[in-house]
Homo-oligomer: A and B are copies of this chain.
Amino acid sequence: MVKEQAHRWQRRKEERPSEIIDAALEVFVEHGYAASKLDDIARKAGVSKGSLYRYFDSKADLFKEMVMQVVIPELEKAESTVNDYQGAIATLITSMVTNWWKTMGETRVCGIPKLVISEAANFPELAEFYVDSVIKRGRKLVAGMIKRGIESGEFREIDPDYAARIMISPVVFASIWKESLSSFDDEYDINHFLVMNTEIFLRGISRNRETDI
């Protein structure tokens, strides 16, 4: 299904029309990779089907490039927020989670995790890139925050890497859920879910009662 073409990520990055990337994001998120038709993407982007091939080698290539173009900037924003921050880590974590949802939760971008997870088996190359460039990098950011919290005495002595995994999973899960089964489930307040989860998590890793929020 996937024709592997040993090629370099981000090649020809600059020339790529953002209309195509945007259209691809929208269509792929809505239908999944296989059920998305290039016809639809081309129509939504306002170009001809043939034109797609000037910018992308294949449907698979478009898919992979789209994911990368869309996801990297988001990560970079988060990193600079963390690096610039001074103050209690618990507060930072809480504000990041709610901010993240406020911005990401409303865009199509939050469909990316579901997409990547769904297609990982069919796009090992993409999966590898995603894990290396997004997952690990994001987890490292979170683990760093937790380490700062441990060092500052806010948190107990726990493994920061596992703690990061634990903290991240409900957040990612929320985005996956929103893009898949949420519309079939009872309505619930995702923001409340995230806040409550963060609170329980922080209480769970806090050094003592007093530091609890």
A residues engaging B (CB < 8 A)? 1, 30-35, 114, 116-122, 124, 127-128, 130-132, 135-136, 158-159, 161-163, 165-166, 169-170, 172-174, 176-177, 180-181, 184-186, 188, 192-193, 196-197, 199-205, 209
What 6 pairs across the A-B complex have the smallest Cβ distances?
A: A34-B34, A200-B204, A204-B204, A118-B118, A131-B184, A117-B180
What are 17 A-to-B residue pairs whose CB atoms are below 8 Å?
A: A1-B122, A31-B121, A31-B122, A34-B34, A35-B122, A114-B117, A117-B177, A120-B180, A120-B184, A130-B184, A132-B184, A135-B181, A166-B170, A169-B173, A169-B174, A172-B173, A204-B204
Give the oligomeric copy count.
Answer: 4
Are A162 and B32 in contact (CB-based, < 8 A)? no
Nearest Cβ on chain B to A113's Cβ, whole angstroms: 10
Majority DSSP secondary structure for residues of A touching B: helix
Residue from the list B127, B163, B166, B185 in contact with A135, Cβ < 8 A: B185
Report the Cα distance A64→B131, complex, angstroms: 30
Contact A162/B192 with A35-B34, A204-B200 known, Cβ cut-off 8 Å: yes
Contacts of A185 in B (CB 8 A): 131, 135-136
